[in-house]
Amino acid sequence: MIKSTFIKEIRQLTRDGRVATAFVIVVGLLAMAIWISGKRYHAINQEYREAKSTERAIWDNQGDKNPHSAAHYGTYAFKPKYPLSLLDQGVDKYAGTSIFLEAHKRNEAQFSMATDQTGLARFGDLTPDFILLFIIPLLIVLLGYNSFTKEHEMGTMALLKSQGTSVVKLILGKWLAIMSPIFLITTILFLIAGVVLSNLDDFGVFSWESLGVLFLVFICYYVVFTNLVLIISSRVKKSGIALVFSLSIWIIACLLVPKISSNIADTKHPYPTRQEFAANVLKDKLEGLDGHDPWSKQAKQLEKEVLAEYGVDSLHLLPFNFDAYRMQKGEEHESEVYLKHYRFLKKQFAEQSEVYQGLAAFSPFLPTRFLSMAIARTDYATHWNFADAAEDYRVKTQAFLNNNFAENSSYGEWSYRASADTWKKLPPFEYAPPKLGEILSTNGSNLLILSTWLIVSFGFLFITIKKI
Amino acid sequence: MIITDNLTKQYGEAVVLNQLNLNIKAGEIYCLLGANGAGKTTTINLLLGFLKPTSGCAFINGLNVDENPKKTKRFLAYIPENLMLYPTLSAVENLEYFSGIGGKSLKKSELEEFLSQAGLQKSAFHQRISNFSKGMRQKVGIAIALAKNAKSLLLDEPTSGLDPKASNEFGQLLENLRGQGVAILMATHDLFRAKEVATHIGIMKNGQLRQEFDANNLSLAELEQAYLDTMDYKELVQ
């Protein structure tokens, strides 16, 4: 009986011109999104390859140079490329792809794609994640809004009931008929993605596991939408009303709740503006040691302490270059200041995330969006993780350079030049992104919310059966 | 095959069916006549299990409908006044679906055979139902009943809106089903068709069965008179 209903529904869907048109449009959009992602891949890859190969070469070949000059010369930490970012670019477009690492300063990531685009880019890109998150649920609405209402409108419900039809089997047949084309489109998209991404040997490490989990997340999301659309269709009598209600659910879940969540999160736990942040950092920096200023109160205090510690009365008698030592101490103070202020940003981020999770009870879109970005390694958490690793590398780089300066020269010897092979001794920046297991464990609440949506929507669907 | 025992349906104070007693055996066609609101459709809905009786019982194939709503549907087929099928599917596909949900998986040749038995012309088998007249749809409905091998058939105003030829063909189909031992209950306004096909006729008014006849012992004129008497039309005319 499930099979009969499934075949009948599929026949009806394929013969309905509107559904066929919608299907063709979605497949066309999907093809276009894949093409755009392909273009993006080539653009990113070319920039990345050029930047990464030249940057390290420039660093390694600085020649004889004062280490502190090298510290100011700086280097770059490049965010690794994640193959799944071609499916869901998440915040990458806005968060930037590389961080300039220099003395005294923790920089933000730069070279975001959004900065190179016009204001129209704010309307969103036609990317696979846009199709997966917004368009396919819309297709589910179009496929399923009249699943039951058409039976009332065509007058076939009475005949169906007179056959002794099991409503559970009837619903399962209709459910399968809606989910099958959705499952097919999603599977084809993910298979194409898997085959293409696993063959890109120059775009990060591809994991079938991550792709599989991402696929499951989206299937759960679509199941929730299918259940909601079927619940509505079984509870109202007219297709027009069912369509309005189903579209309202789509608007609320995919557009309204995310926007409202964002506004509430921003209002309740605001980030400081860039200017405020810079002013706060500067204020704290000025309250501590400035490595470049030997005349400040803090520098004089450090001098006194070091002389006492080594039992000498002149900086020239110290076994290291005190200028470099002071600069390292200044660097440590500055990194503490940055740590404090970035910790605050992360606290705000964590609290904003809690707001999103609280409001995810009103939208299956939110947990899906966050899980998708996390699995694709394009969420804010991964970006923070990368930025922290880059900062850690910056601090270690400064220590490496200042220590070289301090240990190989004496006080006042600003003419010291480290040999050309010194720079190669600095290990390159290596960043290991969080593994899938870690991502899933840190996104446990999103998984829980999506699972709750799944279970509750099935529950409601089967409760409505009794009313048919 | 189809039995009602003091079957009663009330909505609040309003009694729409009052202690109806019917006993339709295999191979009998019972026509229920009556004006709108007489209780004919309510009777059918109670036999289908769409409504719960206030008191009394309905039985299909010896099973209480209220206690065995699913089981009893296995033995009966139903053709409503305006039989609606899936317009984008063909006759064969509609029959395939309704047989399928009844648990029968039939081959294409078997489906065509049932449609043929129901009197549908061959050229219409694979046409979409959206192009069908009411008479053609009724034939698909009969084919559904045939495919289901239903022991009881409930018909609600099946001939209303049919042209005389289609109505006559429909009558012949019912005769065939009767010959196969199917118990048929037909609610209708059509006195002529009732006299043509019925073995028994009942006249209902205000939820009550007022008169019952053996159709063989009754002329059309007598039936018409009995109907008018029951409905008090004479008084109205005077």
- pLDDT above 60 (res B236): no
For residue A414, which phi and psi values (nearest 5 degrees)? -75, -10
Residue B107's alpha-carbon distances to A40, B70, B96, B112, B147, in angstroms, are 53, 25, 9, 9, 11
A162, B76 contact by CB (below 8 A): yes
**pLDDT tens across A338-382, in order?**
889 988 988 988 899 889 888 888 899 999 999 999 999 888 888
Share of chain B above pLDDT 90, in %: 36
Give me the residue label for tokens 């109205």.
B236
Range with lowest mean pLDDT among A68-82, A111-125, A227-241, A389-403: A111-125
Tokens of B82: 């305006």
What pLDDT does A112 receive? 60
Q: Which chain A residue is nearest to residue B147, measuring alpha carbons?
A: A163
Q: Please name the member of A3, A8, A166 whose beta carbon is closest to the beta carbon of B86.
A: A8
| Percentage of chain A lying above the pLDDT 90 cut | 26
Helices (H), A377-443: 380-407, 436-442
How far is residue B157's CA from residue B187's CA, in Å, rounded to a whole number? 5
| B50 with A7: Cβ contact below 8 A | no
Residue of B47, B50, B97 to mutate when probing chain A, most A C-beta within 10 A? B97
The residues near A94 (Cβ < 8 Å, ≥ 6 apart) are A112, A114
Q: How much is the average pLDDT of B99-111?
A: 87
Q: Which residues pair with B76 in a beta bridge?
A: B152
Q: CB distance from A466 to chain B under 8 Å?
A: no
CA distances from B30 to B2, B142, B215 (A): 10, 17, 9
Local confidence band at A82 (pLDDT 50, 70, 90 cut-offs) = confident
Q: In angstroms, rounded to a whole number, what is the distance separating the alpha carbons of residues A11 and A3?
A: 12
Percent residues over pLDDT 70 in chain B? 97
Q: What ipTM goes with this model?
A: 0.82
- Over residues B6-49, the pLDDT tens digits come to 999 999 888 999 999 999 999 999 999 988 888 999 999 999 99
d(Cα A156, Cα A158) in Å, to the nearest integer? 6
Which A residues 112-171 touch B at CB under 8 Å?
154-156, 158-166, 169-170
Q: Are strands B14-24 and B2-11 parallel, antiparallel or unpaired?
A: antiparallel
CA–CA dist A337, A277 (Å, integer): 11
Residues of B in contact with A159 (CB under 8 A): 78, 80, 83-85, 98, 141, 144
Question: Above 60 in pLDDT, residue A159?
Answer: yes
**Span A5-10, mean pLDDT?**
89
Measured between CB atoms, does A20 come within 8 Å of chain B? no
Residue A108 pLDDT = 74
Alpha-carbon gap: B49 to the closest alpha carbon of chain A (Å): 8
Task: Test B74 with A165 for CB contact under 8 angstroms.
Answer: no
Angle, alpha carbons B22-B28-B32 (nearest 5°): 50
Phi, psi of B212 (to 5 degrees): -130, 145
Mutate to test the interface with A, among B71, B86, B130, B132 (most CBs of A within 10 A): B86
As a whole number of angstroms, the distance between CA B76 and CA A159 comes to 11
pLDDT of residue B125: 92
Q: How far is A97 from A77, CA to CA, in rounded Å?
A: 9
DSSP characters over B73-91? HHTEEEE-TT----TTSBH
What are the tens digits of pLDDT across the range B185-196? 999 888 888 888
pLDDT at B58: 92
Of A12, A158, A164, the CB nearest to B88: A12
The size of the A-B interface in CB pairs under 8 A is 75
Most confident of A41-50, A162-171, A417-426, B19-28: B19-28
CB contact under 8 A, A4 and B96: yes
Quote the pLDDT of residue A28.
86
Which pair of structure tokens corresponds to residue A147? Answer: 């699943």
CB-based contacts of A77, cutoff 8 Å, min separation 6: A98, A99, A101, A386, A389, A390, A393, A394, A429, A431
- CB atoms under 10 Å from CB of A451, counted, come to 12
- Shortest CB distance from B86 goes to which of A3, A154, A162? A154
Contact at CB, B84 and A11, closer than 8 angstroms: no
Q: What is the pLDDT of residue A57?
A: 77
pLDDT of residue A29: 86
- The helix/strand/coil state of B203 is strand
- pLDDT bin (cut points 50, 70, 90) of residue A160 is confident
pLDDT digits (tens, 9 = 90+) for A93-150: 777 777 888 777 787 776 565 555 555 555 567 888 898 999 999 999 999 999 989 8
The model carries a pTM of 0.84
Report the pLDDT value the prediction gives residue A123, as an integer from 0 to 100. Answer: 54
**Per-residue pLDDT tens for B54-82?**
999 999 988 999 898 888 888 888 988 88
Using pLDDT thresholds of 50, 70 and 90, give the confidence band for residue A316.
confident
* Tokens (6 digits) for A222: 């679509």
**With pLDDT > 70 as the criterion, what percentage of chain A qualifies?**
96
Burial of A60 (0-12, 13-18, 19+ CB in 10 A): middle
Across residues A186-213, what is the average pLDDT? 85
* Nearest of A294, A306, A439 to residue A381 by alpha carbon: A439
Question: Which of B72, B82, B101 has its CB closest to that of A165?
Answer: B101
Q: Which among B76, B85, B100 has the least Cβ separation from residue A4?
A: B100
